Structure 1
Amino acid sequence: MAKEPENKENATTENNEKNVSLQTIYIKDLSFEAPNSPQVFLEQEITPETKLNISNTHTKLSEGVYDVSLKLSVESTYGEKTMFLAEVEQAGVFAIKGYDETETRALIGIFCPNTLFPYIRELISTMVTKAGFPALLLQPINFDSIYNQALEQASSEQKPN
């Protein structure tokens, strides 16, 4: 039989405890294209340009449970030719309990993408390498800065002229 809390104050503290936990992590979408292979491997001394696009979305599954997705697209080109295009959408189900709405939005916009990023970075790197291209090391992303910029932009758009 479960032990009863010593007093009601302890029971309230336990029920209001702040907690974030990763319930599961999974791949929603995975794509790799090398439309100019094998010709791109014959090119000598090229300096490719690499473009990175990142976005995150979330869906509330139930009270305090969110499906958070991080989508990353990497395109490497030289001149008019595409060397490769790699796209991954990595997702996780997060249980977020005991936080107010503002804190929860920040966790979804900062903590969750920071948790998902190492998985997506490894997938992109593995795909690029296994496709015969030089290793691609994606640098860490400052999701805190991205989140704060989005807040500032939303705030400035809501202000009347």
Structure 2
Amino acid sequence: MTNETAGAEPGQSIPPDAAVLALQSVYLKDCSYESPNGPRVDGNWNPQISLDLQTGSTALGPDVREVVLTVTVSAKIGDVTIFLVEI
């Protein structure tokens, strides 16, 4: 084992009152996939891909927070949605 703190440069010390981040659990709250027009797409398609990331957090205790990351990916050709994924 080592006495060095992860993230510290060799010879550099971290103050004892420095904030510490520790993941306690990771889980999937919700997931959905829709492909309303997937079967109608031919091999020569050039979709517009959209990626949306959103974050939020809630205090659960004095030093505990729940952080939620929402990811939405969609592929469209014009106004027609080929697929939509939400996690």
TM over 0.5: yes
Counterpart residue type for residue 27 of structure 1: L
> In structure 2, what is the Cα distance between the partners aligned to 1:84 and 1:20?
36
Matches within 5 A, 1:30-109: 30-40=31-41, 43-88=42-87
Matched, 1:29 2:30: yes
Per-residue displacement from partner, 1:98-154 (whole Å, max 9, x unpaired)? xxxxxxxxxxxxxxxxxxxxxxxxxxxxxxxxxxxxxxxxxxxxxxxxxxxxxxxxx
User: Per the alignment, in what secondary structure is the counterpart of residue 57 of structure 1?
Assistant: strand
Between the two proteins, the alignment pairs up a number of residues equal to 73
Higher strand proportion (structure 1 or 2): 2
Structure 1: state its 5+ residue gaps: 1-12, 89-161
Cα distance change of structure 1 residues 60 and 46 upon mapping to structure 2, 3 Å threshold: same
Q: TM-score, normalised by structure 2?
A: 0.74
Per-residue deviation, 1:37: 3.0
> In structure 2, what is the Cα distance between the partners aligned to 1:19 and 1:44?
50
Per-residue deviation, 1:17: 5.0
Per-residue deviation, 1:85: 0.2
> In structure 2, what is the Cα distance between the partners aligned to 1:58 and 1:17?
21
Per-residue deviation, 1:80: 2.5
Runs of 4+ in 1 over 6 A off after TM superposition: none
> In structure 1, what is the Cα distance between the partners aligned to 2:52 and 2:83?
14
Counterpart residue type for residue 28 of structure 1: K
Counterpart residue type for residue 84 of structure 1: F
Q: TM-score, normalised by structure 1?
A: 0.42
> In structure 1, what is the Cα distance between the partners aligned to 2:72 and 2:66?
20
Structure 2: state its 5+ residue gaps: 1-14
